[in-house]
A and B are shown apart, each in its own frame.
Chain A
Amino acid sequence: GAVVSQHPSWVICKSGTSVKIECRSLDFQATTMFWYRQFPKQSLMLMATSNEGSKATYEQGVEKDKFLINHASLTLSTLTVTSAHPEDSSFYICSADATRDEQFFGPGTRLTVL
């Protein structure tokens, strides 16, 4: 099946720094990728929809200036958490839309902001 990778797997950073997370579709092209966030013991919550070559669509309550999304190619989307704070600590998961039938999820990136 299709494979989606994320980099890094985990990151620990100081408050106020920016962190970039990459999501790659390894063996297929994805015009649409999705970014989710999951807090401990909670479900995945959709943050934004990333479309190749256009601006991302953010879900209500997600600050677009804080969570910058770039989908510059059909195999790569990046999420940058700007000026990260401890409340941004979470598990960030991306998925790529290969076909209408199925999405493929990355392994997730655990962000801890000290």
Chain B
Amino acid sequence: SQQGEEDPQALSIQEGENATMNCSYKTSINNLQWYRQNSGRGLVHLILIRSNEREKHSGRLRVTLDTSKKSSSLLITASRAADTASYFCAPNPSIAGYALNFGKGTSLLVTP
């Protein structure tokens, strides 16, 4: 099954610093999605990048996609304590009705 693998597993930074998380996957995709999950809560969709896009921005988020390397990165700039959460990538193949499979995520801790 198509599953993203996030790296690093855990990351601790101070407020104001940038946080970079990486995702690798194995097969071809239609798009790749990034989600955030606060402890004990549901998933929040952050950003979707399509296979023909190389970079996408949304507020303080910047996502890149390199389909030749089958990898993506999520950059959070000027991090805040409220960004503390787990972040998951979900490679999405171009098959209707196909479930997203999640890796273990990157656990981000932003300290004041």
Residues of A within 8 A of B (CB): 1, 6, 31-32, 34, 36, 42-44, 46, 49, 51, 91, 93, 95, 97, 100-108, 110
Q: Which chain A residue shows the least CB distance to B90?
A: A103
Q: Which chain B residue shows the least CB distance to A10?
A: B40
Q: Choose from A42, A100, A105 the contact partner of B30 (Cβ within 8 Å).
A: A100
- For the complex, give the distance between the alpha carbons of A103 and B99 in Å: 9
Contacts A95-B99, A95-B100 aside, 10 further interface pairs with beta carbons under 8 A come to A6-B42, A36-B102, A100-B96, A101-B50, A102-B31, A103-B92, A105-B35, A105-B43, A105-B45, A106-B42
Chain B nearest CB: distance from A38 CB in Å?
9
Contact A49 B101 (CB under 8 A): no
Contact B42 A43 (CB under 8 A): no
* Chain A residues with CB under 8 A of B45: 1, 102, 104-105
- A/B interface sample: 29 pairs, CB < 8 A: A6-B42, A32-B97, A34-B100, A42-B104, A43-B103, A43-B104, A43-B105, A44-B88, A46-B99, A49-B97, A51-B97, A91-B40, A97-B96, A100-B94, A100-B95, A101-B30, A101-B31, A101-B48, A101-B50, A101-B92, A102-B48, A105-B42, A105-B43, A106-B42, A107-B41, A107-B42, A108-B41, A108-B42, A108-B43
Chain B nearest CB: distance from A21 CB in Å?
13
Contact A103 B100 (CB under 8 A): yes
Interface size (B, Cβ < 8 Å)? Answer: 24
Q: Which chain B residue shows the least CB distance to A93?
A: B42
* Chain B residues with CB under 8 A of A32: 96-97
* Chain B residues with CB under 8 A of A36: 102
- For the complex, give the distance between the alpha carbons of A32 and B40 in Å: 25
Q: Is B67 an interface residue (CB 8 A)?
A: no
* Chain B residues with CB under 8 A of A95: 99-100
Chain A nearest CB: distance from B84 CB in Å?
15
Chain B nearest CB: distance from A31 CB in Å?
7
Q: Is B71 an interface residue (CB 8 A)?
A: no
Q: Is B77 an interface residue (CB 8 A)?
A: no
Chain B nearest CB: distance from A106 CB in Å?
6
Q: Is B33 an interface residue (CB 8 A)?
A: yes
